[in-house]
Each structure stands twice: as structure tokens, then as C-alpha cells.
Structure 1
Amino acid sequence: MKRRDFLKQSAILSSLTLLPSASWASIKSTRLRIACIGVGGRGKEVLAAIASHPRAELTALCDVDSRRLIAAAKLHPHAKSFVDYRRMMEELGPAIDAVVVVTPDHTHAPASLMAMEMGKAIYCEKPLTHHVSEARAMRQLAEDKGLVTQMGIQCHSFKEYRSAAQLIKSGIIGKVNTVRAWSNKDWGYDGPIPTGSDPVPEYLNWPLWLGTSKERPYKDRIYHPGYWRKLLDYGCGTLGDMGVHIFDTPYTALELDVPSTIRTSCRKPNGFSHPEKNTVRYEFKGTPYTTDTLKWVWYDGKSAPEDHPDLNMPNGDALPEQGAMFIGEKGRLLLPHYTWAKLIVDGKYEKIDFPELEAANHYHQFVDACLDRDKTSAP
């Protein structure tokens, strides 16, 4: 299938919004009928987590990689398999209540928007979209249709992250003046731009993988699987991949709005890939939990956090490979990625009395919200 044919079919299938469908308003079943687009890698994990809900019923599987699709079908034999999500929605639309999207970033919005136009609830993996305009379009459509949505940012539901947000709001370190956040993930590429082409593997539908992005020849170990995160046309780099998680708690705790200024330091743009080293400096207007101006510094990839007193650790301990440090008037709070916060006052660790919180399952919350007309925590 050529790209122009893909785009033509997409235009034709957009008329599906005129067909009868199992819209959000009509979900009356005691079980949520779910279709999953992207069932390998991270998709396999998300699929298993959502399908583990006792009221979830997996209806369809879709993936452009036949190896992954076959493997998923063996685990979920009652679900129907598809290579093209448009065909899946055309054929099974009325039998689908919700769609889970776990594909490369550039295909999040096209797949999600099509399903949302048909009235389906959406669970979309982070980062929500490839472009800001797409995220705005999804938000507006969800509001217009009254759809349940959940972004796949599971850390938002973790006790570790929720407790850190509560501690900051409680004033444990006073008003926060600076946040320093980092990730050692290396989703950048500074090498030569590839030329030529390689044979497309038999298991991969390359035109469908490209989707609505510009046509280009396949190159082995450049795009699929996973390498796309490094590339401008398909992924969002380390900032988009891990920053979504690590920024979440500071944003939640400090109730921040959009930044006032942004300055980045990296190699010259090459029009092809994200940089291997990236440092971004933000300034935000103050909130009740910050000083008048909040400074925020992000480091990623091979750009290790600078040698700064804000990041000095007690006892000569090393910084975690990923995390955030809140610097406040009365001390610092370190939140390593995926674990509990540590309080640092006058260069020493201090005991924290963590708030008691109920457990929350980010994936099951989506199913419950769809069936019980409830809200999700990360819409």
C-alpha cells in the first residue's frame, strides 16, 4: 500500500463518524469492550494491565508488526486481530466501547481522534501526542463528546508520587524556588542522517507504520522497533518520553501553568533527530506553593546534571539516574523515579512521615470510569 492510498483510505473512513456506533453515551454493559492498537513492547504491558480488570472484555487487537500481533493473539485468543486500525473500527465499531492506543508517538493522535469521533473512550499512552496542536484537538473533542479519557502516565497514580505531591503542598520544605529534573535515557541521535534503504521485513507493514507522516524508505535499526523515539518525525526524545513522568509530580504539587520563558542548550538542529545532550531552563510565574518566580532545569540523555549545590547528596550518595529535586526555603525533597521521596535538610537526611493513601490502579481506574460514569485522574 502506497502512502497516498493510506491517506485516501483515511479520508474515506473518516465518514465512519456518520455510521451508528457504540458511543460513550450508550455504554450500558456491565463489561467494557476494548480494542487495543499497538500490542507489542509497552503495548503488551498496558494490554495485560487493562485486561486484568474483571469487567474488561478484550474485543480486538491491532498491530502493524505481525510478530507482535500473533504473540498477542495467542495470549488473547477471543479477540479479533487486525493490521489496520481503520479496518478494525470500520468492521467492529459498534462492538467497541473503548480504545487503547500504545503506538509510536506520531500515530497517537490519528488513531485516537478517529476512535473519539466514533464516540469511543480513549486510553492513550504518554506522551499524549506528537504535537501540541494534536493534544488540543483531542482535549476539545473529548469535551465536546463527553468522553472518558486517560493518559497512560501510570506514575500519576503511584503512592510514591502522590505522597510527594502532598508533602510539597503541606510545606515540608517551605515555598519551592527551584526544581531540577533529569533522566539518563538516551533518546537522541547525533550521528549521520541515514541514506539509502533496506528491504522491509516481511512481518512489518511499513506504509501503515508511517501512517500520515511523510513517505520515506525503510532503514533497518533506524525506525522500528523503538528507535523512532530518537527521531523528530516520530518521537519526542527523552524529554517527551521520560519528562512526562518526571514533570508530573512538580506540576501537580506546585499547580503550575505554562512556563513564562524556555531556553534550551543542545547541538544545532539537524531536522532529523533529537539531540543526545539536552538542557532546558524554564521559568514559571509563582503559585501559592512557590516563590514569586520558579526556576526549573531539565537535563537529559548524555547531559548529566551539572555540579550544583542544589544536587549535592548526603553521605556522598550518587544521584538516582532519573528523578527530580525540589529546592525550598526549608530544605530539599528528592523524588527518584519510581520510588519514595527523601527529605534533605542542612545536608542530612531527615525522617518523613508519609501520608496514608489508598492504593490506585491507573489502568483499572479507566475501566471503572467508563462503566461507572466516573472521572479518571489523568484525563
Structure 2
Amino acid sequence: MKTEQENKSTSNRRDFIKTSAIAAAAFMIVPRHVLGGTGYLAPSDRLLVAGIGVGGKGQSDLEMFYKSGKADIAFLCDVDDRRAANSVKAFPKAKYYKDWREMLDKEHKNFDAVSVSTPDHNHAIQALAAMQLGKHVYVQKPLTHDIYEARILTAAAKKYKVVTQMGNQGASNDGPRQMKEWYEAGLIGDVHTVYAWTNRPVWPQGIPWPSKKAEIPKELDWNLWLGTAPEKDYVDKLVPFNWRGWWDYGTGALGDMGCHLIEAPFSVLNLKYAKEVEASVGSVYVDEFKRGYFPESCPPSSHVTLKFPKTNKTKGDVTLHWMDGGIQPERPEELEANETFGDGGNGTLFIGTKGKMMSETYSANPKLLPLSRNKDIKVAPKYARVPDGANGHYKQWVEAAIAGYGKQEVSSPFEIAGPLTEALLMANLAIRSFDIQKTVNGKTTYPGRYTKMLWDNDNMKVTNFDEANQFVKREYRKGWNNLTL
């Protein structure tokens, strides 16, 4: 038997070891500024990131987080091993999963933040699941597929107190800040009309769903790729990119480019939620005499008009025109015949009571019109720039996540990105309503065409054409739970 002295000695050793371990652990997590010196990055100052969707844009996002010098890529998840291959090679220490739900369930204690770069239809359910675990999230544009989803994620960011950022990196460019300074200095008067346009889509749209199914690649988990979308057979060339042109998965040219081109009007004019929307869309010829519309597919071109109520930056309502498929607004009379409008294929134009200004994709290279006005601009910088502009968008989120919720500013938090995304999705609601059919006395009509949709923002519904409300919130496939806070 052990003596009382031996027991006491053993107990002291245990206490010493326990105390030493706690002290060592505490030392490992003290902030860098406490340790002193320059260039030393303590473990607590590094963000551990898990990527959901790690091919293509997802891969480049992860690389930019890593290049910030303050993030490590801890986990990778993708339903397609082919798409994930480059990220697996680039981050060999990161553990790889195919099912994001399994990754979150098993590893959530081992990372701080999640990057979501999957097809649009799965953004919301993946981002919300991460936020409910207290993870900071970076979500590629558009934030969500549906209006309801955007509203849920906007509320979730505040409820779960996590740092959020949408991947419209132009929001961190100097352009939006410079245009705000020009506008607030009164250089173009009060803005009442804005045009935004793109030459996209550059993928197939306005076509029927392929009748021939294809063999599912062995590297692709088709069920996981479908996620919330309806059950369908796999078809050739849908992945990795052409899903954008199908409503079940994508949001068309608006979802792809709208977040880049409409961000500046939201930033400069402090726009929030639209109050009405109407659309006209292009069609294709299915034969020599018949024009066709295919409701499963986004149209080849569209022109949407959104009206926003007066803000603290405007004297009245603001009308915003969106054009895609190569349609452009009338060239401003202040622009010479051979001067580039926007960047040629894309751009944003502000029309005020005293003048006009325009910018390119990502709100880059803003200019007053006529271009001769840009020689003598004397407006002092008022808003802090994001170091490295669009590229700095990633580091900005990393640093804000390390600092913690509410401690540092980001350019596109869900507070801003949510309403911006809703505007794009409201435009899509009007576009999709174009194909709604009604048959009365044997005659087919299209009551949603050329109809101004009036929007009740508080209740998230169109008040004068109820059929359009089916596009506010879709039903997820069986087995994929609907969003709840």
C-alpha cells in the first residue's frame, strides 16, 4: 500500500503536470500582439478554412485566402473528384470529403470558417448549416438561388454573429468608393436612373432540356450534386459550368454578373429592396415560323426594370434597368462615337440631374461623362480603400473573421449582399413569370408577360399576380430540409 506521503507526492506531480499543460495551451493561443515582435503569427491568428466546392472558382478562392498569409486550408469537400484534384494537390494536408454534411458533422470543431463555391441551388443550405455551427462564411455570388433564401441568410448572419462576405470582389475595388465620393460631392446631381448590362450568357440558354440522358462519370456523386434540386437524370455537358442556364440550378446572366454590375448602385445610392419589377425576354426560333420559350431554361436575353423607393441618398425613386444577352442601353450623347461604353460588353451607367458617370465590370475605372470632365476632378478621398482592391476582398474577410464578429468592416457582408441578391432574384421572378400559362375557354394566354409586378417586401410576395410567388421560395427535394433559422 502507498503511504500518505507517497499519495501526496503523486498528487502534487499530477497537479504540476496539469497546471503546466494548461499554461502551455494558454501560451499557444495568446494573440500575436501580446507576444510582441513583428512577423510572428500565433496559432490563434490563423483562420482555419473548410472549402465546400473546391474546383474552378472554389479553388481560386481558397488560394486567395491562403495567400493572405493568415489562413490555412484545413478541409476540402467536393462532389466531383475531377474538379477537386487541383485543390487536393495544392493543399495536401487538407482532409478531403465528398459530402459536406459529413464534413461539418465530423470536423466542425477543427475549423473556423467555410467557403462555399457550389452551384447556386445549394448555396443557402450549405452556408446556413455552417453559420448555425458558428462558422464565418464566404459565399460565392449570387448569395442564393431564391428570394426567401437570401432573406434567411441575411437574418442568420446577425443571429449567429458570424463574419460574412459574398464573392462579388468588385465591392472591394476603389471604384464604388470613388463614385460615392463624386456623387456625394454633387458632380452628377441626383440620380434617378441606372443602367447595368452584360454580354453574357456565354453558356447555352433558351433551349429545351436534353432528351438523352448520359452516363454519370464515376468521379461524380450525382445525388449530392443535385442536392436540393428536383430528381433528374444526368445529362452531358451540364457540369461543370452549363448548369448556369437552367432554373433548377442556376440564376442565368443575372446571377452570374448582376452582383458585379449592380453592386455600385447599391453602394452609391444605398438601395435596399425594390418595390416593383417588370421584364421582357428574348426568344429563339424553333422552326422557320415559330418562336419558342423554354420554361426550364433561362432566356437568351432579357431587359428588366426594377424600381426602388427613395433612400437617404436620393430625392425620389430610382429606376434600375438590367440588360443581358448583348442588349445595351442607348449610348449617352456625351460619349463620342468611338469611345468605349462601359468596358465594351459590360457596364453600369448612372444618370443624374446634372450629369452622368459610368463604370466597367467590378465597378472598375469609373468615369464622368463626357470623358473630358475627368481631367479636372477635385474631390478629396473620403472613404478608406481596401488594400489591393478586388484581390484584397479575400484577405479582408480573413482578417475580419480572425478579429471576430462586428470588429472589422467587410465590403459585402450579408447585410448588403442579401438585399442586393434579392433584387437580382426579383428580376428573375419577373423573367420566369413570362412563361406562366393560363387556359381559358380553350385559349392559352400568358398573363405574366409585360405585367408590372408589385412587391410587398415585408411579406415577400407579389400582390397583383399570385402565380409569380411560386418563384419566391421553392420546395427542396425530399430528404433535403427547407431552411429554418
Answer yes or no: same fold by TM over 0.5.
yes
Aligned partner of 1:177: which letter?
H
Distance 1:288 1:31, change over 3 A: closer
- Of 326, 330, 342 in structure 1, the residue corresponding to residue 367 of structure 2 is 342
Shift of 1:274: 0.8
Is 1:305 aligned to 2:321, yes or no?
no
Q: SS in structure 2 opposite 1:314?
A: coil
2:385 is aligned to 358
1:378 is aligned to 412
Paired with 1:195 and 1:114, the residues of 2 have a C-alpha distance of: 35
Identity of aligned residues (%): 36
Is the 8 Å Cα contact of residues 69 and 81 (structure 1) preserved in structure 2? Answer: no
Normalising by structure 2, what TM-score? 0.68
Q: SS in structure 2 opposite 1:207?
A: helix
1:142 is aligned to 157
Deviations 1:140-171 (A, max 9, x none): 22222211111111110011232123222222
- Aligned residue pairs total 349
Paired with 1:251 and 1:359, the residues of 2 have a C-alpha distance of: 18
1:94 is aligned to 109
Aligned partner of 1:273: which letter?
S
- Of 46, 51, 61 in structure 2, the residue corresponding to residue 31 of structure 1 is 46
Which deviates more, 30-39 or 280-289? 280-289
Paired with 2:380 and 2:336, the residues of 1 have a C-alpha distance of: 24
Deviations 1:290-342 (A, max 9, x none): 3423222111014x114x35476224324221111111122110111142111
Is the 8 Å Cα contact of residues 238 and 300 (structure 1) preserved in structure 2? Answer: yes
- Of 247, 258, 262 in structure 1, the residue corresponding to residue 277 of structure 2 is 262
1:367 is aligned to 398
5+ residue gaps in structure 1? Answer: 1-26
1:189 is aligned to 205
Is the 8 Å Cα contact of residues 161 and 340 (structure 1) preserved in structure 2? Answer: no
Deviations 1:119-154 (A, max 9, x none): 111111111111111122222222222111111111
Alignment of 1:163-174 (within 5 A): 163-174=178-189
Aligned partner of 2:169: which letter?
Q
- Of 319, 331, 334 in structure 1, the residue corresponding to residue 355 of structure 2 is 331
Aligned partner of 2:318: which letter?
L
Is the 8 Å Cα contact of residues 176 and 268 (structure 2) preserved in structure 1? Answer: no
Shift of 1:84: 1.0
- Of 67, 73, 92 in structure 2, the residue corresponding to residue 58 of structure 1 is 73
Paired with 2:153 and 2:271, the residues of 1 have a C-alpha distance of: 21
1:272 is aligned to 296
Paired with 2:334 and 2:308, the residues of 1 have a C-alpha distance of: 24
Shift of 1:240: 1.4
Paired with 1:156 and 1:39, the residues of 2 have a C-alpha distance of: 23
- Of 207, 218, 223 in structure 2, the residue corresponding to residue 207 of structure 1 is 223
Higher strand content, 1 or 2: 1
Q: SS in structure 2 opposite 1:290?
A: coil
Paired with 2:84 and 2:323, the residues of 1 have a C-alpha distance of: 36
Shift of 1:355: 4.8
Paired with 2:62 and 2:378, the residues of 1 have a C-alpha distance of: 35
Q: SS in structure 2 opposite 1:282?
A: strand
Is the 8 Å Cα contact of residues 108 and 124 (structure 1) preserved in structure 2? Answer: yes
Distance 1:163 1:216, change over 3 A: same
Is the 8 Å Cα contact of residues 207 and 297 (structure 2) preserved in structure 1? Answer: no
Aligned partner of 2:412: which letter?
A
Deviations 1:207-258 (A, max 9, x none): 111012111000111x201111111011111111111111111111011232
Structure showing greater radius of gyration is 2
5+ residue gaps in structure 2? Answer: 1-30, 32-42, 284-292, 414-485
1:220 is aligned to 236
Normalising by structure 1, what TM-score? 0.86
Which deviates more, 166-175 or 208-217? 166-175
Aligned partner of 2:367: which letter?
K
Shift of 1:116: 1.3
Is the 8 Å Cα contact of residues 213 and 233 (structure 2) preserved in structure 1? Answer: yes
- Of 276, 281, 288 in structure 1, the residue corresponding to residue 305 of structure 2 is 281
